[in-house]
Amino acid sequence: MSTNSFGRLFTVTTWGESHGPALGATVDGCPPNIPLDASMLQKWLDKRKPGQNKYTTQRQEADEVEILSGVFEGKTTGTPIQLMIRNTDQRSKDYGDIMDKFRPGHADITYWQKYGIRDYRGGGRSSARETAARVAAGGVAREVLKALVPDLKITGYMVQMGADKIDREAIDLAQIEQNPFWTPDAAAADRWAEYLNGLRKSGNSVGAVIEVIASGAPAGLGAPVYAKIDTDIATAMMSINAVKGVEIGAGFGAAELTGEDNADEIFMGDDGLRYSSNHAGGILGGISTGQDLVCRFAVKPTSSILKTRKTVTKLGEETEIITKGRHDPCVGIRAVPVGEAMMACVILDHVLLHRGQVGKNQGKIG
Amino acid sequence: MSTNSFGRLFTVTTWGESHGPALGATVDGCPPNIPLDASMLQKWLDKRKPGQNKYTTQRQEADEVEILSGVFEGKTTGTPIQLMIRNTDQRSKDYGDIMDKFRPGHADITYWQKYGIRDYRGGGRSSARETAARVAAGGVAREVLKALVPDLKITGYMVQMGADKIDREAIDLAQIEQNPFWTPDAAAADRWAEYLNGLRKSGNSVGAVIEVIASGAPAGLGAPVYAKIDTDIATAMMSINAVKGVEIGAGFGAAELTGEDNADEIFMGDDGLRYSSNHAGGILGGISTGQDLVCRFAVKPTSSILKTRKTVTKLGEETEIITKGRHDPCVGIRAVPVGEAMMACVILDHVLLHRGQVGKNQGKIG
Amino acid sequence: MSTNSFGRLFTVTTWGESHGPALGATVDGCPPNIPLDASMLQKWLDKRKPGQNKYTTQRQEADEVEILSGVFEGKTTGTPIQLMIRNTDQRSKDYGDIMDKFRPGHADITYWQKYGIRDYRGGGRSSARETAARVAAGGVAREVLKALVPDLKITGYMVQMGADKIDREAIDLAQIEQNPFWTPDAAAADRWAEYLNGLRKSGNSVGAVIEVIASGAPAGLGAPVYAKIDTDIATAMMSINAVKGVEIGAGFGAAELTGEDNADEIFMGDDGLRYSSNHAGGILGGISTGQDLVCRFAVKPTSSILKTRKTVTKLGEETEIITKGRHDPCVGIRAVPVGEAMMACVILDHVLLHRGQVGKNQGKIG
Amino acid sequence: MSTNSFGRLFTVTTWGESHGPALGATVDGCPPNIPLDASMLQKWLDKRKPGQNKYTTQRQEADEVEILSGVFEGKTTGTPIQLMIRNTDQRSKDYGDIMDKFRPGHADITYWQKYGIRDYRGGGRSSARETAARVAAGGVAREVLKALVPDLKITGYMVQMGADKIDREAIDLAQIEQNPFWTPDAAAADRWAEYLNGLRKSGNSVGAVIEVIASGAPAGLGAPVYAKIDTDIATAMMSINAVKGVEIGAGFGAAELTGEDNADEIFMGDDGLRYSSNHAGGILGGISTGQDLVCRFAVKPTSSILKTRKTVTKLGEETEIITKGRHDPCVGIRAVPVGEAMMACVILDHVLLHRGQVGKNQGKIG
């Protein structure tokens, strides 16, 4: 039982700190004979990588992933896959002046209280750099899913920055790759660019909401009652740095509905069941229905900002702090590929678990 | 690895169906020499028990818990505690006419697809009756916490029914036990009573939002990065029937804040650290700060309603369904003690895990 | 992570003490739609049950198993199966005089040191009664294996009592059911009967060695490197009360062989591979070869005996002890069905794990 | 749940193949603030390292371990410790001629059947090179144990090569470091040197038995009933390559004893309990007594030998095979430090688990 592991049969254990020599993921439970090489993972890392535009941290990391084990002659062997990413731009000196002060909203104070060790060079283990390992592992999951669930498509995008939400009528998935915010609403992208530019210049930051959808997932995934697929999605997303909320389908909005309105009515479609709506987010009783799996998660604003905030030192003296360094004005942007990666891991894990425990779906309709 | 288990060192495995002979929880990892008898658990079960007022299902269940193992001469022995609750009011005939139809929004269709077995008598394993086992196990956790964290206080209450939220200025925790909705806002209780009465008569249902707070939890709980205490709270709450969203502290509201506004500034108080606010919900980097742990979860409306909804049969024929039987018009009400129980289990689990992995807190401030 | 759980996908959690109200097993991960009723489990419990002849404890336990969950209309549902066995013959007064003394070779002293609670009425949780729960769970595993691996046959028998081994040339499996020692060597059974009768009358006990063979297990079971099937068999057998050693195939004898002699040469037989011998016990690199899986385990003599032994009291006074009560002169006898049950659980667990992680065997020969 | 993980709170996940770029161990659950650097691990790796004398494989591996994470300024941080060892002497061409033949007694046939991938360059994941990762992880465990259980001393040594056992009367632990077999019996070392030299020249190999003792382990370690410390030791040792049997204390010898003779009588010594003997190997009911923990395991002869053996090809053709390459004539020799490392991991894991679940020992005697 590693507290740095995620997943039941497809198990990802991440390791590494923001300013250590390397970080990575030990991926176990990957089925054999799946084509895999580093370039297949690199494309996802490149998407998450910092320094790509002015809206993300200017830290320059190549984020090059090496596969150290578990692959032979271009195919997975069924044994653990070790993915390593060397840290290359650890400019620790940036952090010298905050060595003994705690940043409000940052994990440095709780890590200190718990462990009595403070890696003042950056977030240490609590840094968002850890999510690079998740994205690499998610890349492995995607390659396996290509073989096992060829129709599966996972799409993440930003639906809200600060208080400004996208217009759901204006969603055009083709837009996602066209703007630095991975948002399907081009008008929102324009507004956010201006807003974030202002925030960045003033040394402030802001939160965001990300939505991740998986279409093509089969019915039957999810193991009641503590391995429900919605529970596992919530676990996955909430474990990402800075995430403060997760919802499935109608989510908190479901609390406002009556049972009559919330019911997704069921019909026979041309190729199977058809539902009138998807308030359930594709999950009933913790098991997938075959509809789109839909989740959203809220990312708080980056806590490392150039604004003066009151805090204390290790010695218990009251003081003020400004956090210099290279930080994301909206860390939610880079959370998009992370959310996608986690969704891929959860779905693959449940595909394998379902196959192990149940074999294949047992009940037919019609 | 049981998919019906929850917790790392304090491990709860629930079992049982709504209309089988019994249900219960196997509780492992309970420290020895903790005073325990059935009455200590019964009081929590009585709080959750159906049929106590017109706003919950009229099913009559004594919900009497028996302790079958793990206790000797009134104290825990350190071995597994088996908690059993006999089902006594299984009026299966109520369900006869829905035997071959699927209820929109209900797990019967996904259980059928996955398992090919449909316990048409009720929700089977997906029924909210499973939460009785959680409440019993949570009762064990509370007794252990009394010994290990005497200052801990866990309080759950309803903060929203349908679209109607409580007035946060009007919160009076003493009110919680004074109304059938476990809400700290007396005026809201009056409004909800009227609203729910109308819904109930019309055979409809509605969702709700529950808040659970734990005060007195020590700093240092939570094991990065996949056993963060906020992650485990999210897992716990999302695994409860009908829950569609979970948030910590400012939650989805944090997405709307700037870093400057979201920062909980830190000061030295009379007896330790003091924070200007608690947007973090008592958790930074997945580790507790010592502030109140705050979470909220959204419960969807009960899917079994007297309203006519369109659906299909096992044979794939389109049809309509009205679900007779005895259901909760707002299942969120009874989710309050369940949320409290899950919070108790999560906190105890992390107290034990922290003690095992870290020993005791390592870093002092001041 | 329950320390009272065994298995990865087919997970058995046992609970209960020798003199509590009941004991049992929570079985999770059982595939759905497997025919199951209590009588299918009872036959195995009847085999293990005490008091059947003069060579086992005279405690009278009906050992009647009830299925409390996980079965609907005679078939498994895929949800947890709760198996409960009420204790009926708890003659606690027998134990009164050893209340404050520790029995040499018995767990009462270590349980006291660890937990500070001593269930002096019997072994409490350390009692061999716990194995009744294993046998019941093993019965579930056997029913599933009937469906998934129809050719599998598991056979356990005693191969040594005290220093007296069976004659391997004289093995006749048909003899196993013909004598109270479950041994395939009729002559050994006669010798042992006389020997054990003498021991029993003198209030002494003796150890034994049990062999369990599984034929018909497919090649490919076992997950390197910490879930090897031989490792899991060793774990399973060593976890049984009083077991002090486990070996696979040639076992300790393999240490004496040269590589040339130990090699099981490989040939093409009429229906697949054929091996010249089975020193490997059907397992290479932790993965099954398709040959018979062969293990043996050593059971120490019962520690509760009528012979006077020196010991201490809780107060630290040196004293002597004679353990009255109803004990097995050779607890190894009743370990035979327990070993079979554990083998069934291990094999099923690996069948499910293999299906989950690998799908089906990937490499063909010939 | 990684099948390449070992341990509950101190969790070691090994990864890597014999001829890949690197192998290593991800170590999670290490307490913070323990002094640690690579040199502390290197000394144990140097002990296991091949090519040190003519009795072990002539493969030249530096086996230099790098710490990639989890340590800051010379101390553990409480986060995962990544240990990496680069493979440097992968002379794959040695294996070319056995590319399509299976070695009798070797895992290549079962890996092929299961995974359909055969890393013909060496044993791949099944190679004994994997044990380097265990030794490195064991080194971490030893450093933690130094802090938590300062009196603990773990000693492994060879007690049998082929059929030739050491003379227990002649044991002199000081001899262990004086001969290439890590045996405490100098005369046996001389005999084995001659014997093994002959075997090596003839291209044959032989098995061995290793004993590992831990003195100074506290009473109370072990969590009944499936995390007994003897069970976990058996699991640990049986998971090592080529191990075919494990026993605790008197082990298989206990089967030959009567209850009267097997009882370890208990007395009050000058500084606590004193036992007349240690047939139990320091463990009663799965919990440590405070006596020496004693286990032995049997290692089969290396299967890769220069002797001609009959086998089949992937195509199913019968043929013969001679395995050239660089192999250990008695792989048991290098199993000594591996057994010690596993013992260290098991004990530390139980020290942490005990601390988590129980706090500290609860019952006093005297």
Per-residue model confidence as pLDDT tens digits over A275-304: 999 999 999 999 999 999 999 999 999 988
Task: Please report, to the nearest 10 degrees, the dihedral formed by the alpha carbons of residues D44, D47, D50, D51 taken in order.
Answer: 140
3-state secondary structure at position A162? coil
Q: What H or E segment, with its residue span, contains residue D334?
A: helix D332-357
* Residue B290 near residue B264, CB atoms below 8 Å: no
Structure tokens at D293: 């923990």
**A77 reaches D (C-beta below 8 A):** yes
Report d(CA A109, CA B290) in Å as an integer: 11
Whole-number average pLDDT of chain A = 93
pLDDT, position C324: 78
Nearest to A9 among C79, C224, C357 (CB): C357
Residues B281 and B260: their CA atoms lie apart, in Å, by 17
Q: Is D125 part of the contact surface with chain C (CB cutoff 8 Å)? A: yes
Instruction: Count Cβ–Cβ pairs < 8 Å, chain A vs chain B.
Output: 420
pLDDT at D38 over 90: yes
H-only helix segments in B76-185:
108-115, 130-148
Average pLDDT over residues C131-146: 98
d(CA D242, CA C262): 12
pLDDT for C93 equals: 58
Cα(first)–Cα(last) distance of chain A, in Å? 43
Which of A32, A78, A356 is nearest residue C356 as measured by Cβ atoms?
A356
Q: Are the beta carbons of C82 and B115 separated by less than 8 Å?
A: no
Percent of chain C residues topping a pLDDT of 70 = 96
Q: How far is B60 from chain D (nearest CA, A)?
A: 38
Q: Which residues contact D293 (CB under 8 A, 6 or more apart)?
A: D213, D214, D215, D217, D229, D233, D281, D282, D283, D343, D347
What average pLDDT score do residues A158-169 get?
98
A22/D28 Cβ within 8 A: no
Whether D352 has its CB under 8 Å from any CB of chain B: the answer is yes
Residue C94, pLDDT score: 57
D304 is in an annotated binding site: yes
For residue D225, whether the previous peptide bond is cis, meaning omega lies within 30 degrees of 0, is yes
CA nearest A15: which of A99, A141, A137, A105? Answer: A137
Helix H or strand E segment including B98:
none
Which of the four pLDDT bands, split at 50, 70 and 90, describes residue A58?
Answer: low
Whether the CB of C352 is below 8 Å from some CB of chain A: the reply is yes
Å from A191 to nearest chain B CA? 15
Query: Number of CB pairs < 8 Å for B and D?
Result: 41
Enumerate the residues of chain B whose CB falls inside 8 A of the CB of residue C28: 2-5, 13, 15
Q: Give the tens place of pLDDT for each residue, C77-115.
A: 999 999 999 998 766 555 666 788 999 999 999 999 999
CA–CA separation, B176 vs B162, rounded Å? 19
Judged by CB atoms closer than 8 Å, whether chains meet at B219 and A305 is answered as no
Mean pLDDT across C276-283: 98
Strands (E), chain D: 5-6, 11-16, 22-28, 65-67, 71-72, 75-76, 81-86, 153-161, 164-165, 208-215, 243-248, 266-269, 272-275, 283-284, 287-288, 293-299, 309-312, 318-321
Which candidate from B252, B254, B307 shows the least CB-CB separation from A259? B307
- Asked if B365's CB is within 8 angstroms of A256's CB, the reply is no
Question: Could D123 and C318 be called an inter-chain contact, meaning their C-beta atoms sit closer than 8 Å?
Answer: no
Element (H, E) at A189: helix A186-201
ipTM: 0.97
pLDDT band at residue A93, thresholds of 50, 70 and 90?
low
Mean pLDDT for the stretch of residues A327-352: 95
What's the confidence (pLDDT) of residue B167?
A: 98
pLDDT of residue C58 exceeding 90, the answer is no
Q: Nearest Cβ partner of A287 from B110, B257, B314?
A: B110
Residue A204 marked ligand-binding: no
| B365 near C CB under 8 A | no
Nearest CB among B21, B69, B78 relative to C15 is that of B69
Closest-CA residue of D relative to B148 is: D359
The answer to whether residues A225 and B14 touch, using CB atoms and an 8 Å cutoff, is yes
Chain A interface includes C31 (CB < 8 A): yes
- D198 labelled binding-site residue: no
Quote the pLDDT of residue C53: 74
Alpha carbon separation from A194 to A160, A188, A271, A327 (Å, rounded) = 14, 10, 45, 18
Phi-psi region of D325 (alpha: psi -120 to 50; beta: other; left: phi over 0): left
CB contact under 8 A, A355 and C359: yes
Residue B36: left (phi > 0), alpha (psi -120 to 50), or beta?
A: beta
Q: What is the mean pLDDT of chain C?
A: 93
**Contact residues, chain B, for A309 at CB < 8 Å:** 260, 263, 265
Whether D207 contacts chain C with CB within 8 A: yes
- Interior angle at CA B321, CA B315 and CA B326, nearest 5: 120
Beta carbons of A114 and D78 less than 8 Å apart: yes
Chain C partners within 8 Å of D228 (Cβ): 238-239
Question: Does the CB of C306 have a partner CB in chain D at under 8 Å?
Answer: no
Residue of A nearest to C361 (CA): A32
pLDDT at residue D102 greater than cutoff 80: yes
AA letter at A353: L
Evaluated on CA atoms B141, B145, B147, B148, the torsion sign reads positive
User: Mean pLDDT in chain D?
Assistant: 93
Q: Is the dihedral of CA B199, B205, B206, B209 positive or negative?
A: positive
How far is it, in rounded angstroms, from Cα C33 to Cα C146?
13
- Across the range C292-310, mean pLDDT stands at 94
Residue B199: the pLDDT is 93
DSSP H/E element including B13: strand B11-16
Q: Are C75 and B117 in contact (CB under 8 A)?
A: yes
- D32: tokens are 């913070």
A54 marked ligand binding residue: yes
Contact A56, A21 (CB under 8 A): no
Task: Give the per-residue SS3 of chain C.
Answer: CCCCEECCCCEEEEEECCCCCEEEEEEECCCCCCECCHHHHHHHHHHHCCCCCCCCCCCCCCCCEEECCCEECCEECCCCEEEEEECCCCCHHHHHHHCCECCCCCCHHHHHHHHCCCCCCCCHHHCCCHHHHHHHHHHHHHHHHHHHCCCCEEEEEEEEECCEECCHHHCCHHHHHHCCCCCCCHHHHHHHHHHHHHHHHCCCCECEEEEEEEECCCCCCCECCCECHHHHHHHHHHCCCCEEEEEECCHHHHHHCEHHHHCCCEEEECCEEEECCCCCCCEECCEECCCCEEEEEEECCCCCCCCCEEEEECCCCEEEECCCCCCCCCCHHHHHHHHHHHHHHHHHHHHHHHHHHCCCCCCCCC
Dist CA D293 CA D149 (whole Å): 14
Chain A interface test: which of B238, B261, B270, B274 (most A C-beta within 10 Å): B238
Q: Which one-letter DSSP state was computed for residue B21?
A: S
Helices (H) and strands (E) in chain B — how many of each? 7, 18
Q: What is the pLDDT of residue A191?
A: 97
Shortest alpha-carbon distance between residue D114 and chain C (Å): 4
pLDDT of residue A97: 66
Chain C: touching chains (3 or more CB pairs < 8 Å): A, B, D
| Contacting residues of B for C13, CB less than 8 Å apart | 2, 5, 13, 26, 28, 80
Angstrom distance (rounded) from CA A11 to CA D152:
34
Across the interface, whether the CB atoms of D115 and A77 are under 8 A apart is answered yes
Interface with chain C: mutation pick from D9, D246, D313, highest number of C CBs within 10 Å: D246
Residue by residue, DSSP assigns B125-141 as GGSTTHHHHHHHHHHHH
Among residues C131, C143, C77, C70, the alpha carbon closest in space to that of C348 is found at C143
| Tokens linked to D7 | 């341990």
Q: Is the pLDDT of residue A164 over 70?
A: yes
The string over D108-133, giving b where at least 16 C-beta atoms fall within 10 Å of a residue's C-beta and e elsewhere, is: bbbbbbbbbbbbbbbbbbbbbbbbbb
To which residue do tokens 């990391």 refer?
A61
Residues of D in contact with C310 (CB under 8 A): 265-267, 276
Q: Which sign does the torsion angle of CA A359, A361, A363, A364 carry?
A: negative
Question: What residues contact residue B190 under an 8 Å CB cut-off, 6+ apart?
Answer: none
Interface test with D, best of C225, C265, C291, C312 (most D CBs within 10 A): C225
How far does Cα D78 stand from its chain's mean position? 25
The whole-number mean pLDDT for each consecutive block of 10 residues of chain B, a chain of 366 residues, reads 96 95 97 98 87 72 93 96 90 66 94 90 87 97 98 98 97 94 97 94 95 98 97 98 98 97 95 95 98 98 91 95 82 95 98 96 90
Residues 6+ apart with CB under 8 A from D178: D186, D189
Strand D266-269 vs strand D272-275: parallel, antiparallel, or unpaired? antiparallel
User: Would you place residue D47 in the very low, low, confident or very high pLDDT band (cuts 50, 70, 90)?
Assistant: confident
Domains observed in chain A: 5-358 (3.60.150.10)
Closest Cα of chain B to A76: distance in Å? 25
Please name the member of A31, A224, A362 whose beta carbon is closest to the beta carbon of C79: A224
Type of residue found at B299: V
In angstroms, the separation between the Cα of residue A233 and the nearest Cα of chain C is 20
Which single residue is written with the structure tokens 């894990």? A349
Predicted pLDDT at C146 = 98
pLDDT at A92 over 60: no
**Quick count: other Cβ atoms within 10 Å of Cβ C269?**
9
Collect all residues of chain A within an 8 Å Cβ-Cβ radius of residue B265: 104, 309-311
Residues from chain C that touch B9, judged by Cβ atoms under 8 A, are: 1
* Amino acid symbol at A150: P
Give percent above pLDDT 90 in chain C.
84
C-alpha to C-alpha distance for B338 and C47, rounded to whole angstroms = 42
Name the band, by pLDDT with cuts 50, 70 and 90, for residue D293. very high
Q: Count of CB atoms within 10 A of residue A80's CB?
A: 30
B325 touches chain A (CB under 8 A): no
For residue D30, give the nearest of D132, D146, D179 by alpha carbon.
D146
Q: Is the Cβ of A281 closer than 8 Å to some Cβ of chain D?
A: no
Whether the CB of A38 is below 8 Å from some CB of chain D: the reply is no
Where residue D94 falls among pLDDT bands split at 50, 70, 90?
low
Q: What is the pLDDT of residues C304-363, one digit of tens each?
A: 888 999 999 999 999 999 987 667 899 999 999 999 999 999 999 999 999 999 999 999
Q: Which of B7, B4, B6 is nearest to B352 (CA)?
A: B7
Provide, as residue numbers in chain B, all residues whose Cβ is less than 8 Å from the Cβ of A207. Answer: 254-257, 262
- Rounded to the nearest angstrom, the minimum Cα separation between A107 and chain D is 14
The answer to whether the Cβ–Cβ distance between D28 and A3 falls below 8 Å is yes
Mean pLDDT along residues D234-244: 98
Mean pLDDT confidence for A108-126: 89
Q: How confident is the model at residue A99, as a pLDDT?
A: 81
CA C188 to chain B, closest CA, distance in angstroms equals 40
Residue D302, annotated as binding a ligand: yes
Q: Does C324 touch chain D (CB under 8 A)?
A: no
Q: How far apart are CA B127 and CA A224, in angstroms?
A: 11
